[in-house]
Amino acid sequence: MDCPVCKNAMITLELTEVEIDYCTDCSGIWLDTGELKLLLGDPEKAIHLLNSFKIDPSCTEKPRKCPICLKKMQKIIVGHAAPPLLIDKCSKGDGLWFDKGELSHIFNRAQLDKDSKIQKLLADIFGSKQNN
Ligand SMILES: [Zn+2]
Ligand SMILES: [Zn+2]
């Protein structure tokens, strides 16, 4: 699978329950739809987070292509806090693309426990200092 930003081949990181695709060049992360729920580990928070996704019709950023179906992805606003956080989502539901730092940002906003899987995962990938 190629990175939608730099087009380089991504590496697969194998975790206990999920595999995520990670670009070593831009530090972007691709998650298949079901993997986000698994990573969150808390169904209620996962649903809350997914329900907060809104398509941003006014976004002027260049659309990226889904690494699976190669169709243009939608820009999605996550949550209600300012400034808005935008991620890319496959309109067919293949998955989500997170630029560097966006995933940890979202999980911070979702107010997960510090020892949640995703925080541990991000610490493993990027080192323990996650400031985003
Ligand atoms: Zn990349
Ligand atoms: Zn797709």
Residue 112 has pLDDT above 90, yes or no: no
Residue 130 has pLDDT above 50, yes or no: no
What is the 44 CA–ligand 1 centroid distance (Å)?
A: 31
Per-residue H/E/C for 60-77: CCCCCECCCCCCEEEEEE
**98 in Cβ contact with 35 (< 8 Å):** no
Confidence at 132, pLDDT banded by 50, 70, 90: very low
Residue 113 has pLDDT above 80, yes or no: no
Give the number of other CB atoms < 10 A from CB of residue 59: 14
Q: What residues sit around ligand 2, an ion, with C-beta below 5 angstroms? A: 66, 68-69, 90, 92, 94
**84 in Cβ contact with 97 (< 8 Å):** no
How do 11-14 and 29-32 pair as beta strands? Answer: unpaired
Total-model pTM? 0.82
Mean local confidence (pLDDT), 1-11: 96
State the Cα–Cα distance between residues 109 and 63, nearest whole angstrom: 25
pLDDT score of 10: 97
Q: Which residue has the higher pLDDT, 68 or 126?
A: 68
The strand pairing partners of 26, in sequence order, are none
Mean local confidence (pLDDT), 102-120: 71
What is the 91 CA–ligand 2 centroid distance (Å)?
A: 6
What is the 105 CA–ligand 2 centroid distance (Å)?
A: 23
Q: Tens of pLDDT along 36-90? A: 888 777 778 778 878 888 888 887 888 899 999 999 999 998 877 777 788 999 9
State the Cα–Cα distance between residues 21 and 113, nearest whole angstrom: 23
